[in-house]
Structures are given as C-alpha cells and as structure tokens.
C-alpha cells in the first residue's frame, strides 16, 4: 500500500502559498501603503510575521501529509481556494468602510453586500473541492501553476514596493516625538495649547447649558468663541494647518508639504530662535521631524513597542479587516489610533495619544517649573474623539458604556487638573492657555468645521465668558507666534469678518481629495459652502496619456482619476460625483486624431434633470439635458484638439446640494454621478452600433 505521508511538491505548495499570502504579502503590502501614517517600522513586524508564516506553513503541510488521501485532496483544495480568495478580497473585492478613525461603521448598510461576498467565498471553495475531486491531476496542475504564478507576481510586487519605500520615507527619517519635558514648564512665561481632538464647538455649547458645574464653573478667566471655523479636517491636515497656517494646495507629497509649510511657518521660525523651551506632543506623522531647531522633543531613532507580539497581532487585525470575507469585517474593525497603545511610555519614549495615560502621568509626575526659558507646550489629546472610554472624571469606562458627552467632560477634567497644578505653582495668572479642537464632529457640524476654541490670556480675571467674535483657525499660527512672544493681550486683531475657508480631506486608494469650503460672513452655526476647488497633492501625478477607444472608469476601478483636473469629489465605489458647477478633464492622445470623435459618457444625475454644457478646449460644442442614469453621446468635430491635447469641461448650471434642498446634510454641489467615459473615432463608434 502506498503511503501518503511523504513530503512532495504537491503537499508543500498549499502551505507555502497560504502562508505567503496571509503573513508576507498581505501585511507587507498593507504596511508599505500606509507607512506614512504608522509610527512603527516594518522591522518591528517581521519577526512575528515570519513565525506566524512558519507555523502556518508547517501546520498545513503536516495535515496535507498525514490526512487520508481523499481528505488530503479536499483539504488542499480548500487551502488553495481560501488563499486565492484572500488575495482577491484584499486586492479586488475591496469594500470601502471609510477611514478607521474610531467612528463606528453602520454595519447594517453592508449586510447585503457582506452576504453576497460570503456566498462568493462558499461557492469558490465548493467549486475547488468539486473540481479537485472530479478532475484530480488536471485541475491540480492548473491550480498549482496559478499558485506559482501568483506567488511570483507577489514577490515581484513586494520587491518593487520595497525599492520605492526608502524614497517615500526619507523626508522624516528615523525620528520621533518623545515625552521629554512633557510636564516641565517655565517658572516665568508659559504658552500652553491643549488640542482636544474632534471636540465640536456646538457640543461645548450644549455642555455649557447642561453641565455648568463641569464646564463654565471650572474654567473661570476663559473666553469661549463659538463662531470659530476650523482650518481643515481631519486631523492629518488640521494639525499642520494650525501650526503653519497653510495646507497642501500644490502638487507635492504630504511630506513635501510638511517640509515646506513648517519651513515657512511664523511659529516655527520664532521657536527656532532658541529663546524658548519647546515641546510638541502629538502624532509624529503630522510634524516635520527635521525641525529639531524648533522642536526640542524630537529624538533620533524610532519609538520602541511595548510588545512586538502585541503590535504584530494588532496589525494583523487590520490586515484581516481588509482580507477576510466582508461578513466578518465587524469582528476585525479597529481604530488606527489603537496602535498608539503599543508605544513604550518611558520618559524618552514616543508620545502617544492616550488621555487616560496622560492623566495618570500628570497626577504621578506633576508639573515642574524647571525650564530655563519661556515654555511653549502643544498637547494633543484624544478629547471628544470616539471610541468613548472615559467618564467625566477622566476614569476609564468600557467602550460600550461610554458616551460622547462623558468623554468630552473627561477631557476637560484633565485640563482642569493641569490648571490646578499650574495655580499651585503660582504660574496660572501669567500663562497663556488655549483649549481648542483640531476640527469639529459631523454629528454637530455637518462638515466638522466648528471646533472648540477657548482662550485664557495672561492677567485675566473674570467669570467664564462667551464671545461672538468670528475667528478662523487659518490665523492660529500667527496668533500662537504672538502668544510665545508675549504679545497676545487681545484676540481682536484676528477678528475674521470676511470669508473663512475650510478644507475637508478624504483619501481613498491613494488619491487625496482636499476640498475647499467657505463661510462668507460671520455667524454662529453657519454651514460652509463648497467653492468647487479640490486639491489632490501629488496623487494625480499620473500619465494622462490616452488611447482612443479606452474606457476610463469612475467606479471602484477609478481609472478615470488620471484625467481629472478639477470639479470631482472622491470616488464612492460605484461612481464619482461632480462637485461644483464645472467638472474639468484633460486627455493627452498617444496619436493625433484625424477625424471626428465621439465622447460617450455614462452617468446619472442628481435631483432630476441636469443641463450639461460641453466645452472642448474652451469652445462650447453642445448642450444636452440628462435625466437619470444612461449613456450620453457628444460629437467632437475634427480639429478640436490642441495638438494631442483635449481639454473637456462640463458646465453644470443646475448642480445643487442635498443641504440646500433640505434632503440631507451634504453641502457639495452635486450634478452628475460619473461612471465611465470613452472617446473614440466617430466612424468606429457608428460601426459598433
């Protein structure tokens, strides 16, 4: 009788394939695509990833060898099917759940797609098992060949990504923000800034009304400015804007933006004079870590994890969120801020945003007036950000029992403890204290543009006040510069009576949409309106080369993104909305068209009929009236191209917003939901019909 326990290519490949997809390709690919937003290095993950891979490979190979022949065949078929499906799920069948910023996902909206996705998994696994049993060696050969090809493809892909990675990271280098002098302040002058993440100004108004004993009564001498407009949302763009007074309005990478903006920042230029003791306690990815001339708590090296195993396990949860069947996604949902919990908390360790930890360290270490120069401290706390895990006394609570109000009151309580210690040291009266948020929250201000902003100036003594002065965070860097110089005695110089701009960021599949909004006059609670301007950093620096007859998609494939110039929102999976009254695209033909062309657009419309004026190279060639979903054909006469360049502008006079119509809180001016576009020779188009 032939034994089935010998090792062979057929019993080794399933385990090798599965282990590589799950514990090498998936985590490394995910890390490299998000490295700019992670504080730890790939080297921290590799040891345990290799161990996980080795155990998986050994376990699968052992079972392939020792199981009875028929069970071994079924098992191998299942392993192959799952391995292919893992790759397919993570790279093709991707579901966009939005940013993992702690805000709960409405899972009910994904229930039906999740069930359909699960059925695909079940069907593919069943098909693999059936064919493996039915066709045996023929199907096995096909599957093994496909596995080898995919293995080789993944290896090449990772090689290319790894080669590119050093160039991507060289801007920041191996540096981090430490906890050094976190609670060390000056015995003379102090400028103290507390950024309570996601704390909406409208929420503060509610808390003042309902919990005066925890708010206004605890903050005498402070003035609250509810008519404040944030500079940007979310935090990745808000923090740099607050500290520099600028956002990424150029075709440059995020790190290039940080370098340029911090280099031109009046605050950084003042702090770099060497006259101050400085400390910035925030997420290191939001800072230009080359500015150790202005930021004293920048350390060389990388933060050390508390546990490599714990960190790797947390990261694999993120990988599973993307690669596992969609129906299992709720089990792997996480907040990317959870990685902060795996930072070492020694004095020289990397700062982590953890309000509970911050409060405990403040109580244990206490403030010390030992700085030799006037001090500037910038503290970024979790504030009112979900998940809600604090009560109003800053005590930890279970996430399920927490609320936004309790979390917010807990964050304020931490600040009051700091103020108490400041008073005990006799330094409160001379200090400038700013309590603010980086941006608001959508449940209170639809675009998250109404942040908390409270100020206590030196020498002020009065009950808690509420001011109706309009203010814009775009002025914050200049205001902070005056504060550290000791020149901030009033905020009147920063009264913002004119237009106040706000930038809302969204990133999807590597594309940044930084959409500009405006409030054109003062007024508490006013909504921002889109200007139609959208910035993309350097994420649109793709070739605009276009071959006639190529279909460009604005759905999940997003191949149409390369031709966009302006006037489009972020991709929403099935389509991309135009935003504003004009949507512009640019095509650079690989060969100069000689005859008439046809442009075929597949799109839907917002709010019924939409008038579409088509302009080609600044000449109006057609107006059509679109209603609902369908294909719309536009004839482009010969000779309309400028050399090989065709610039198309869709003017949409009927574009409107759900907010203006009272049907929702979306302030974008929506017109067309673009699905695809193709430009082809007119003769070929007519022949195709």
Strand order in the sheet with 375-381: 277-281, 375-381, 190-196, 432-436, 453-456, 223-224, 465-466
Higher pLDDT, 349 or 81: 81
Grouping H, G, I as helix, E, B as strand and the rest as coil, residue 477 is: helix
Of the three residues 135, 169, 203, the one that is the final residue of a domain is 169
Taking residues 478-503, report their average pLDDT: 94
Q: Is residue 283 one of the residues assigned to a domain?
A: yes
Of the three residues 117, 151, 169, the one that is the final residue of a domain is 169
Higher pLDDT, 147 or 571: 147
Grouping H, G, I as helix, E, B as strand and the rest as coil, residue 593 is: coil
Q: 196: which strand partners?
A: 381
Q: How many domains does the chain have?
A: 3
State pLDDT tens for residues 664-680: 767 789 999 999 999 99
Whether residue 295 sits in one domain with residue 211: yes
Residues ≥6 apart with Cβ < 8 Å to 258:
171, 240, 286, 287, 288
Please state whether the peptide bond connecting residue 73 to the residue before it is cis, i.e. omega within 30 degrees of 0: no
Query: pLDDT at position 689, please?
Result: 52
Give the Cβ contact number of residue 66 at 10 Å.
Answer: 12
Cα(131)–Cα(78) distance, rounded to whole angstroms? 11
Cα(558)–Cα(536) distance, rounded to whole angstroms? 15
pTM for this one?
0.61
Higher pLDDT, 35 or 595: 595
Cα(290)–Cα(265) distance, rounded to whole angstroms? 14
Q: Lowest-pLDDT range, 16-30, 139-153, 263-277, 299-313?
A: 299-313
Q: Is residue 629 one of the residues assigned to a domain?
A: yes
Whether residue 133 sits in one domain with residue 96: yes
CA distances from 456 to 214, 317, 437, 524 (A): 17, 43, 15, 21
Residues ≥6 apart with Cβ < 8 Å to 135:
none
> Position of tokens 């280099």?
263
Query: By C-alpha distance, which of 223, 261, 667, 675 is closest to 454?
Result: 223
Residues ≥6 apart with Cβ < 8 Å to 625:
609, 610, 611, 612
Contact present, 47 and 66 (Cβ < 8 Å): no
Query: By C-alpha distance, which of 50, 41, 339, 23 is closest to 166?
Result: 41
Query: pLDDT at position 374, please?
Result: 97
Query: pLDDT at position 170, please?
Result: 40
Query: pLDDT at position 3, please?
Result: 46
Does position 580 have pLDDT exceeding 80, yes or no? Answer: yes
State pLDDT tens for residues 213-253: 999 999 999 999 999 999 999 898 999 999 999 999 888 87
pLDDT interval class at 307 (50, 70, 90): confident
Whether residue 627 sits in one domain with residue 591: yes
Whether residue 587 sits in one domain with residue 612: yes
Of the three residues 487, 507, 527, the one that is the final residue of a domain is 507
- The percentage of residues in the chain with a pLDDT greater than 70, rounded to a whole number, is 89
CA distances from 82 to 14, 187, 274, 325, 336 (A): 10, 63, 59, 10, 27
Contact present, 282 and 295 (Cβ < 8 Å): no
Over the chain, what is the mean pLDDT? 87
Query: pLDDT at position 266, please?
Result: 95
Whether residue 396 sits in one domain with residue 466: yes
Whether residue 606 sits in one domain with residue 561: yes
Query: pLDDT at position 165, please?
Result: 57
Whether residue 196 sits in one domain with residue 162: no
Does position 359 have pLDDT exceeding 50, yes or no? Answer: yes
Angle between helices 308-323 and 42-66 (to 10 degrees): 70
Domain range for residue 468? 175-304+343-507
Query: pLDDT at position 161, please?
Result: 73
Q: 646: which strand partners?
A: 587
State pLDDT tens for residues 610-657: 999 999 998 999 999 999 888 999 999 988 887 788 999 999 999 998
Query: pLDDT at position 347, please?
Result: 54
Whether residue 189 sits in one domain with residue 136: no
The answer for 573, left when phi > 0, alpha when psi is -120 to 50, beta otherwise, is left
Cα(29)–Cα(270) distance, rounded to whole angstroms? 41
At 422, which CATH number? Answer: 3.40.720.10
Does position 579 have pLDDT exceeding 90, yes or no? Answer: no
The DSSP secondary-structure symbol of 188 reads S
Q: Residue 566: enclosing H or E segment and its boundaries?
A: strand 564-566
At 639, which CATH number? Answer: 2.60.120.260
Cα(56)–Cα(10) distance, rounded to whole angstroms? 16
State pLDDT tens for residues 161-215: 776 554 434 444 468 888 899 999 999 999 999 999 999 999 999 999 999 999 9
CA atoms within 13 A on the CB side of 432: 22
Whether residue 472 sits in one domain with residue 556: no
pLDDT interval class at 335 (50, 70, 90): low
Whether residue 202 sits in one domain with residue 259: yes
Whether residue 156 sits in one domain with residue 184: no
């Amino acid at each position: 009788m032939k034994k089935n326990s010998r090792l062979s290519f057929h019993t080794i490949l399933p385990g090798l394939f599965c282990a590589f997809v799950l514990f090498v390709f998936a985590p490394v690919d995910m890390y490299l695509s998000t490295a700019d937003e992670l504080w730890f290095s790939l080297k921290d993950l590799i040891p345990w990833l290799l161990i996980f891979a080795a155990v998986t490979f050994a376990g699968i190979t052992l079972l392939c060898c020792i199981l009875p022949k028929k069970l071994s065949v079924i098992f191998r078929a299942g392993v192959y099917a799952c391995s292919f499906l893992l790759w397919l799920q993570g790279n093709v069948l991707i579901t966009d759940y939005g940013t993992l910023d702690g805000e709960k996902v409405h899972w009910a909206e994904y229930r039906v797609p999740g069930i359909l996705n699960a059925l695909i998994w079940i069907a593919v696994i069943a098909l693999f098992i059936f064919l493996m049993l039915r066709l045996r060696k023929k199907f096995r050969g096909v599957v093994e060949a496909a596995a080898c090809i995919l293995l080789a493809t993944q290896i090449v892909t990772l090689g290319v990504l790894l080669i590119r990675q050093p160039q991507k990271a060289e801007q920041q280098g191996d540096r981090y923000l430490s906890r050094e002098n976190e609670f060390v302040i000056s015995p003379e002058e102090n400028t103290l800034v507390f950024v309570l993440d996601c704390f909406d100004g409208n929420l503060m108004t509610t808390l003042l009304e309902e919990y005066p004993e925890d708010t206004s009564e605890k903050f005498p001498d402070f003035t609250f400015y509810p008519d404040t407009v944030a500079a940007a949302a979310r935090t990745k763009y808000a923090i740099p804007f607050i500290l520099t007074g600028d956002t990424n309005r150029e075709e440059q990478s995020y790190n290039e933006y940080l370098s340029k903006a911090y280099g031109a920042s009046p605050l950084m230029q003042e702090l770099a004079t060497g006259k101050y003791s400085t400390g910035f306690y925030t997420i290191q990815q939001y800072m230009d870590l080359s500015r150790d001339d202005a930021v004293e708590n920048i350390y060389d090296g990388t933060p050390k994890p508390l546990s490599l195993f714990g960190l790797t396990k947390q990261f694999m949860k993120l990988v599973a969120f993307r690669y596992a069947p969609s129906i299992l996604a709720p089990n792997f949902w996480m907040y990317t801020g959870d990685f902060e919990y795996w930072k070492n908390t020694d004095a020289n360790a990397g700062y982590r945003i953890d309000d509970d930890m911050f409060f405990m360290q403040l109580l244990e270490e206490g403030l010390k007036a030992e700085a030799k120069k006037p001090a500037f401290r910038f503290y970024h706390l979790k504030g009112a950000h979900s998940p809600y895990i604090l009560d109003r006394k800053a005590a930890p609570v279970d996430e399920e029992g927490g609320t936004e109000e309790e979390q917010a009151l807990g964050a304020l309580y931490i600040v009051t403890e700091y103020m108490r210690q400041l008073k005990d040291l006799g330094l409160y009266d001379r200090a400038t204290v700013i309590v603010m948020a980086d941006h608001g929250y959508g449940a209170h201000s639809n675009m998250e543009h109404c942040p908390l902003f409270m100020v206590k100036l030196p020498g002020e003594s009065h009950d808690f006040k509420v001011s109706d002065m309009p203010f814009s965070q775009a002025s914050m860097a200049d205001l902070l510069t005056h504060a550290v110089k000791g020149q901030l005695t009033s905020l009147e110089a920063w009264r913002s009576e004119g237009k106040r701009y706000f930038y809302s960021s969204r990133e999807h599949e590597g594309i940044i949409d930084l959409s500009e909004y405006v409030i054109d006059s003062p007024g508490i609670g006013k909504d921002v309106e889109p200007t139609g301007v959208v910035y993309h950093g350097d994420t649109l620096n793709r070739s605009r080369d276009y071959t006639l007859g190529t279909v460009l998609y604005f759905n999940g494939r997003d191949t149409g993104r390369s031709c966009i110039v302006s006037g489009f929102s972020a991709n929403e999976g099935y389509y991309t909305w135009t935003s504003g009254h004009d949507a512009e695209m640019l095509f650079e033909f690989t060969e100069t068209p000689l005859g008439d062309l046809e442009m075929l657009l597949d799109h839907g419309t917002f709010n019924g009929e939409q008038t579409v004026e088509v302009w080609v190279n600044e000449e109006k060639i057609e107006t059509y009236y679109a209603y609902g979903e369908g294909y719309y054909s536009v004839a482009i006469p010969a000779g309309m191209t400028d050399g090989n360049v065709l610039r198309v502008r869709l003017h949409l006079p009927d574009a409107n917003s759900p907010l203006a119509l009272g049907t929702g809180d979306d302030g974008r001016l929506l017109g067309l939901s673009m699905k695809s576009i193709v430009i082809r020779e007119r003769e070929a188009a007519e022949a195709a019909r």
